[in-house]
Amino acid sequence: MNIKDLPPLRALVIFEASVRHSSFKLAADELHLTAGAVGQQIRKLEESLGLSLFNRLPRQVQVTDSGMIYYRQIVPALEQICSASRSIRTQRRRGVSVTMVPSMAAKWLAPRLKDFVTRYPNVDVHINATQVPVSFEQEGVDLGIRHFDGKDPGFESVLLLADEVRVLCSPRYAAEQGLRQANDLSRTTLLHTSIHQSWSAWFDRFSTLEPKDYEQIHGIWFDQGMLAIDAACRHQGVVLTNELLARDELLSGDLVEPFQARMPLNRGYYLIYPKRRKLSDAAIAFRDWLLEEFH
């Protein structure tokens, strides 16, 4: 590699942002520069390459054909530089970043974190609780707990817990509605959650109700499982969830299983991390602790 052939990295970063935004001004805003400074760097890059990268229009800039070819060639290299830099920072830091759904973070992880912190007092733990799968590369995440079928070619997937759902409600609600079998749920309010969207399959398996019948049952929809569990504790309906998320409520008696009709799912809770990434010592410690807690 001849170092003299390399344009300034700063100019390449500015060029990438300018193409992405089709605007020098928006690129300047993102990079905390002035539009004039962006334009100056683009001109220097054009002079270095001996070609025009943009057509300057009255209110925007438009990348030229040659500019787009160059853009497509350099972006993978810039992404590789970013990835390598993040990887080095991850290896050097003493923290671990973990992503999972909010219900899992609140109902299972939070009560147990003290044990990990006690055993590894020098490891900082960062919890990213979100319903949406995050980019491990862009967000700097080390590990994730995902509720799915475990099949993703880009990740190592280790099953933590196979999932099985059951009907739960408060003792008062069960008594008021006279809940003794699956068909009795026709007179209840169904509490739906984004993580366990299994009511239809449950009715098909355990009741004699037709789809047209159970689809008419009144329902409330929640984007987080812990909100539906809380609603069930407050006598607002029946929730279809698992023992992992409702363990405390079952132990306290706030929730009961009015009748036994448990349904295994083809999904479960998996520990995941990118196959191509070497885990830091902190991430390895947290991974091993998770596996110990579940197994």
Summarised one tens digit per residue, pLDDT across range 39-83 is 899 999 998 888 899 998 877 888 999 989 999 998 898 888 877
Q: Which residue did the predictor score with more confidence, 241 or 88?
A: 241
Q: What is the mean pLDDT of residues 88-97?
A: 68
On whether the CB atoms of residues 140 and 124 are closer than 8 A, the answer is no
Model confidence band, residue 1 (pLDDT cutoffs 50, 70, 90): low
On whether the CB atoms of residues 222 and 212 are closer than 8 A, the answer is no
Residues 155, 225 within the same domain:
no
Cα(187)–Cα(61) distance, rounded to whole angstroms?
A: 62
Give the angle 105-110-237 at the CA atoms, nearest 5°.
Answer: 60
- Taking residue 57's Cβ as centre, other Cβ atoms within 10 Å add up to 9
Out of 62, 91, 120, pick the residue that ends a domain: 91
Give pLDDT, residue 4.
Answer: 66
Model confidence band, residue 188 (pLDDT cutoffs 50, 70, 90): very high
Out of 61, 91, 121, pick the residue that ends a domain: 91
- Taking residue 84's Cβ as centre, other Cβ atoms within 10 Å add up to 10
Give pLDDT, residue 86.
Answer: 67
Q: What is the pLDDT of residues 109-119, one digit of tens each?
A: 999 999 999 99
Query: pTM for this structure?
Result: 0.67
Q: What is the mean pLDDT of residues 257-278?
A: 93
Give pLDDT, residue 91.
Answer: 53
On whether the CB atoms of residues 288 and 282 are closer than 8 A, the answer is no
Does the pLDDT of residue 90 top 60, yes or no?
Answer: no
Residues 155, 168 within the same domain:
no
Domain that holds residue 128: 93-160+268-294
Cα(95)–Cα(121) distance, rounded to whole angstroms?
A: 11
State the pairing for strand pair 238-241/54-56: unpaired
- Taking residue 151's Cβ as centre, other Cβ atoms within 10 Å add up to 8
Distance of CA 253 to the CA centre of its chain: 32
Cα(73)–Cα(62) distance, rounded to whole angstroms?
A: 18
Residues 13, 155 within the same domain:
no
SS3 152: coil
Distance of CA 258 to the CA centre of its chain: 33
Model confidence band, residue 216 (pLDDT cutoffs 50, 70, 90): very high
Give pLDDT, residue 192.
Answer: 96
* Residues 6+ away with beta carbon under 8 Å from 209: 182, 183, 186, 203
Mean pLDDT highest for which of 195-199, 220-224, 233-237?
Answer: 233-237
Cα(256)–Cα(249) distance, rounded to whole angstroms?
A: 8
Q: Which runs of consecutive H residues, i.e. helices, occur in the chain?
A: 9-21, 24-31, 35-49, 65-92, 102-104, 113-119, 136-139, 171-177, 199-206, 211-214, 225-233, 243-252, 281-294
Cα(93)–Cα(124) distance, rounded to whole angstroms?
A: 9
Residues 123, 154 within the same domain:
yes
Query: Which of the residue ranges 60-74, 132-146, 253-267 would you say has the lowest mean pLDDT?
Result: 132-146
Residues 86, 118 within the same domain:
no
Residues 60, 138 within the same domain:
no
Cα(274)–Cα(276) distance, rounded to whole angstroms?
A: 6
Q: What is the mean pLDDT of residues 192-218?
A: 95
Give pLDDT, residue 158.
Answer: 95
Q: Tell me the CATH number at 131.
A: 3.40.190.10
Residues 180, 261 within the same domain:
yes
Residues 189, 145 within the same domain:
no
Give the angle 23-66-26 at the CA atoms, nearest 5°.
Answer: 10
Task: Please tell me the total count of domains within the chain.
Answer: 3
293: its two tokens = 């807690």
Residues 260, 233 within the same domain:
yes
Residues 285, 152 within the same domain:
yes
Tokens 């009748």 -> residue: 259
Q: Tell me the CATH number at 62.
A: 1.10.10.10
168: its two tokens = 């739960």
Model confidence band, residue 3 (pLDDT cutoffs 50, 70, 90): low
Residues 101, 191 within the same domain:
no
Q: What is the mean pLDDT of residues 228-235?
A: 97
Which residues sit opposite 269 in a β-bridge? 147, 161
Query: Which of the residue ranges 41-45, 83-87, 201-205, 228-232 would you say has the lowest mean pLDDT?
Result: 83-87
Cα(126)–Cα(94) distance, rounded to whole angstroms?
A: 11
Residues 142, 191 within the same domain:
no
